[in-house]
Structure 1
Amino acid sequence: MADQTPAGTPATPAGPPAGAAHHRLRAAAHRHLARHPRAAALVDRLTPRSVRARTTLAACASVAVVLIIASAAVILLLRVNLERTVEADAREQAQAVARLATDGHLTSPLPLDHGTDFIQVVDANGRVVAASQNLTGRPPLAPARHHPNGHRTFNLDARGHAHHQRVTSIAATTPTGPVTIYVGASLHTADAAEDLTTAALAVLSTVLLFTVGALTWRATGRALRPVEAIRAEVAAIGDRDLNRRVPEPRSDDEIARLADTMNAMLQRLEAAGTRQRRFIADASHELRSPLTVLRTQLEVALAHSDPDVHADLVAGALEDTERLQALAADLLLLARLDTTDHDWPDEPVDFADLIHTTVAARGVEPHPVDVHALTAITIPGNPLWLRRLLTNLLDNAQRHARSHITVRLTTDRASGHAVLDVTNDGPPIEPADHEKIFERFARLDDARSRDDGGTGLGLPIARDIAAIHKGTLTVLDAPGATTFRTRLPIPPQPSPAKVMK
């Protein structure tokens, strides 16, 4: 028997890769838009700009691609199964006729089974030996329509109208010689089922596509509603409304975390603004007092011609001028320390030597200073700023000590820090004030600090310098003493084995 395989389709010449064709198509579209500004403007206007529209369009496009692929696969599988069924029926009919031909029992017309359109038996000379009723008197099919694969699909106007048929051919041997049996099975049922399935899938896909678009549009709108509320609230917050907060959704998702982060940022901004306003107010107050005293002294000096009074007033004015100069220098240094564009100073500094030279350069002071810094410790830093840190701590200790001050430098190898302790035997600081004393212009004893020359900026400057050096400055209370402890990181030292290598 001849092979019975499905009819082949014409070969398609190999083309360029799909990616290259896509790029060429995009390039051609860009060239076309470049030559037509109005079309480019129209495309720009039609391009969705909102996240909601883009998300909905992307979801619909993705679902449409999936539906097209799935529908094509379903239709293809349905077509293949239906054609196999038709071929099986035609092959069974052809085999039955072949058995009749072999036994010499061919009759004309030949009966048709269910699903078979026609039967024709042709001998080796091209003469019709037998045929079904609908092909009686018709010329043989073999000379014009024989297919090398045994069967094929073609339009056959056998009953007055064109319809697809699957033709199967089988060779058989009869008592009078070899014959070829042609059996045609109608594909009308397969075509109708394919058309009905295609229409049903098109309707269902359209409904599903619109449903996905509507659900995506609604879900995206609900998801982005808190974002819009956050945006509107942030847009309404001015530089004087930093106490306002954005609404936080009750869900535990990315938008809720965004709102929490925004509120934390607004809280930091509010705190920074409050500190800045308080700092400006305190600086204005601190500058106004010595300026007022200085002006009064100068006015009195101008009004009195007594040389002794004049000399005392000039000396007082010079003292207030020095205080103003120190305050201006502290404010300038704070402004430099507050900038965020400076890098961590990394110049190697012999911290022990810096302590000894700084204490020695201060000369005679009201209270003696005992220095315990025997170990040479090298840390990365800015020597001018580290000297200023130590100077501020010593100035603070001199103002509050009763009899003596101790400076001690040690190392904490476990944590890799140099530890500087500046201790005075003055009155202890209440635990509640341990952080307050590091606020700018903060004074626990306002009148005494002004009398002894304190500006309220020494300890804040010292802490900022320690922070810039990636260190800390804290207060430790001990019986009969107060210690300011500074911890600064020490770079790791190479092990002996690595040094030998």
Structure 2
Amino acid sequence: MQGVRRRWGVRRKTTAAAALLMIVVLVLSGVLLLEVLKRNIVSTAHDQAVTSQQQVLSRLVDEQGPPDDRVIYVWSRADPADLLRAVGQPGVLVQLTDQEGSVVASSPPMAGDIDLNSPVLTPGDTFESRSDNNSLLRIPNDFVYVSEGIVVNGEPHTLVVAVPVNLQTSSLTVVAIFVLAVGPLLVLLGALTMWWLTGRSLRPVRRITDQVRTIGGANLDERVDVPPTRDEIAQLASTMNAMLDRLQASDQAQRRFVADASHELRSPLATLSATLDVARNDPSGQTWQELSPMLVSQSQRMGQLVQDLLTLARADDAGLDMRVADTDMDEVVSEEIARIKPALRQELTVYIEPVRLRADGSKLQQVVRNLLSNAGRHAESLIEVRLSTAAKSAVLTVINDGDTIAPEDQEKVFERFVRLDASRARDTGGSGLGLAISREIVRAHGGSIAVDQDSHGRCRFTVTLPLPRDAS
């Protein structure tokens, strides 16, 4: 049964939930209605019985005991039957029973044959049949009565005053039958209405589903129709189109990357292949010595590209393999500056403060290397590197006076497979992976990396890393 419910669609589940809710509401409202009607019938009849009893006693009472004695005494030379006929009330049954429960007089006379099931009371005691009708949904008896023990001509008797409620009870039964008969029809009507409304509401969803089903890798530029309504369906369609936008952008980026990576790998492979052919045809071996630097350079370039791809693959799979230890960030930056400085043609300005972090030094070294290499490719004449602390964070900034990055591209530049420059020259363009790898490394350290412009309008990359909690 649970497996069947799991296979139910939204339409069936909604209809079943609505039907169940209606059943609960109808049952509770029906029980409440019947109970209120029953209690109203019993209460009204009881009030009438009490009033009639007081009127009957007021006519019968001849003598009453002391103030602290509630016993009522009746003295009369008339026959008890004549006495009750004289004090009887229309629409009310009055019975006088002896200590054995036998009716000795009644009004009207035919009421003597009716068994009210009233208990025998000692003088001064009272009883109300209303207490027998307090159970939930219990149908009242044909009579609601009040009784009291009195003394008539020196003999203890029980005076019972009853009000018939059989007509009201019949009406209550009719209402109960009506609720039981009409309730299922209302549930069925409500379920059918909910089924129709849900189907009508889900029609745009089915249309969106059909449209999305036809969209594949060959037609990612297609979009689903957004209905003019400003409801959840319109939001779903807009969200679906936004997802398709992201998929299309990702597909285009991956296609660009495949082309870029193919070019990056093809160029060194072609160079290596040609160089090896030339060296192989030289029996003297002199060519090997002349071309070996080129072979080493191209193989290193290929190895770096493969290493970058493996780093991103590990980040996607199980996260970067971090070897955290106490790291002097100023030494990391200084080592990378010393390594790259001889190859730079631009002026390099450095401002470094001592900073110690709990980090993976080798991976932060890769971040600094990527940022400095990026600055070296784009700077015109100046590169500025700053390392300082601020607000419990270490802040590394790399500034260059080359072309700035447009605001709409400042987040895109850190995406994988993205190269904002269209150049495919190996000496001026990278593989588009360095900044993406840097962002993964910085995020793994709980930090952030961003690009903007400084106050002089120069391109600025900012890396923020958290300091240890015990740092002063």
| Pairwise CA distance, 1:195 | 1.2
Please give the TM-score of this superposition, normalised by the length of structure 1.
0.68
Aligned to 2:461: 485
Query: How big is each residue's C-alpha offset from its partner over 1:6-40, in whole Å with a ceiling of 9 and x where there is no partner?
Result: xxxxxxxxxxxxxxxxxxxxxxxxxxxxxxxxxxx
Question: RMSD over aligned Cα, in angstroms?
Answer: 4.6
Query: Take 1:270 and 1:77, find their aligned partners in 2: how far apart are those partners?
Result: 65
| Pairwise CA distance, 1:350 | 1.7
| Pairwise CA distance, 1:491 | 1.6
Query: Take 1:145 and 1:207, find their aligned partners in 2: how far apart are those partners?
Result: 43
When structure 1 is superposed on structure 2, of 195-204 and 225-234 the one drifting more is 225-234
Query: Take 2:297 and 2:119, find their aligned partners in 1: how far apart are those partners?
Result: 118
Query: Take 2:278 and 2:301, find their aligned partners in 1: how far apart are those partners?
Result: 24
Whether the aligned pair in 2 keeps the contact of 1:171 and 1:179 (CA below 8 Å) is yes
Aligned to 1:464: 437
What residue ranges of structure 2 are gaps of 5+ in the alignment?
63-75, 133-140
| Pairwise CA distance, 1:279 | 0.7
Aligned partner of 1:319 among 294, 308, 324: 294
What one-letter code is carried by the residue in structure 2 that aligns with 1:384?
Answer: S
| Pairwise CA distance, 1:420 | 3.2
Aligned to 1:413: 390
Please give the TM-score of this superposition, normalised by the length of structure 2.
0.71
Tell me: CA distance 1:230–1:493, structure 2 relative to 1, closer, same or farther (3 Å). Answer: same
Which aligned pairs between 1:173-188 and structure 2 lie closer than 5 A?
A: 173=151, 179-188=157-166
Whether the aligned pair in 2 keeps the contact of 1:371 and 1:408 (CA below 8 Å) is yes
What one-letter code is carried by the residue in structure 2 that aligns with 1:57?
Answer: A
What one-letter code is carried by the residue in structure 2 that aligns with 1:377?
Answer: V
Aligned to 2:9: 50
Say which SS state the counterpart of residue 146 (structure 1) adopts.
Answer: coil
What residue ranges of structure 1 are gaps of 5+ in the alignment?
1-40, 155-162, 497-501
| Pairwise CA distance, 1:179 | 4.7
Query: How big is each residue's C-alpha offset from its partner over 1:270-289, in whole Å with a ceiling of 9 and x where there is no partner?
Result: 21221111111122123223
What one-letter code is carried by the residue in structure 1 that aligns with 2:308?
Answer: L
Say which SS state the counterpart of residue 110 (structure 1) adopts.
Answer: helix
Query: Take 1:133 and 1:477, find their aligned partners in 2: how far apart are those partners?
Result: 110
Whether the aligned pair in 1 keeps the contact of 2:278 and 2:287 (CA below 8 Å) is no
Say which SS state the counterpart of residue 187 (structure 2) adopts.
Answer: helix
| Pairwise CA distance, 1:353 | 1.5
Which aligned pairs between 1:16-415 and structure 2 lie closer than 5 A?
A: 49-102=8-61, 104=76, 108=82, 110=85, 113-116=89-92, 118-122=93-97, 130-132=105-107, 134-135=109-110, 146-148=119-121, 150=127, 152=129, 164-173=142-151, 179-300=157-278, 311-312=286-287, 315-316=290-291, 319-320=294-295, 322-337=297-312, 339-340=315-316, 341-343=318-320, 345=322, 346-361=324-339, 364-365=342-343, 367=345, 370=348, 372-395=350-373, 406-411=383-388, 413=390
Aligned to 1:499: none
| Pairwise CA distance, 1:78 | 1.9
Whether the aligned pair in 1 keeps the contact of 2:11 and 2:198 (CA below 8 Å) is yes
Whether the aligned pair in 1 keeps the contact of 2:220 and 2:248 (CA below 8 Å) is yes
Whether the aligned pair in 2 keeps the contact of 1:419 and 1:486 (CA below 8 Å) is yes
What one-letter code is carried by the residue in structure 1 that aligns with 2:365?
Answer: R
Query: Take 1:195 and 1:239, find their aligned partners in 2: how far apart are those partners?
Result: 69
When structure 1 is superposed on structure 2, of 251-260 and 380-389 the one drifting more is 251-260
Give the % identical residues: 24
What one-letter code is carried by the residue in structure 2 that aligns with 1:291?
Answer: L
What one-letter code is carried by the residue in structure 1 that aligns with 2:264?
Answer: E
Query: How big is each residue's C-alpha offset from its partner over 1:384-417, in whole Å with a ceiling of 9 and x where there is no partner?
Result: 2333344345455666778x76553232625844
Query: Take 2:145 and 2:334, find their aligned partners in 1: how far apart are those partners?
Result: 111
Query: Take 1:423 and 1:47, find their aligned partners in 2: how far apart are those partners?
Result: 59
What one-letter code is carried by the residue in structure 1 that aligns with 2:147?
Answer: S
Say which SS state the counterpart of residue 243 (structure 1) adopts.
Answer: coil
Query: Take 1:437 and 1:120, find their aligned partners in 2: how far apart are those partners?
Result: 102
Whether the aligned pair in 1 keeps the contact of 2:336 and 2:369 (CA below 8 Å) is yes
Query: Take 2:455 and 2:33, find their aligned partners in 1: how far apart are those partners?
Result: 85
Whether the aligned pair in 1 keeps the contact of 2:386 and 2:396 (CA below 8 Å) is yes
Say which SS state the counterpart of residue 85 (structure 2) adopts.
Answer: coil
Whether the aligned pair in 1 keeps the contact of 2:254 and 2:417 (CA below 8 Å) is no
Whether the aligned pair in 2 keeps the contact of 1:287 and 1:324 (CA below 8 Å) is no
Query: Take 1:407 and 1:472, find their aligned partners in 2: how far apart are those partners?
Result: 17
Query: Take 2:448 and 2:3, find their aligned partners in 1: how far apart are those partners?
Result: 55
Query: Take 1:91 and 1:442, find their aligned partners in 2: how far apart are those partners?
Result: 97
Query: Take 2:5 and 2:344, find their aligned partners in 1: how far apart are those partners?
Result: 81
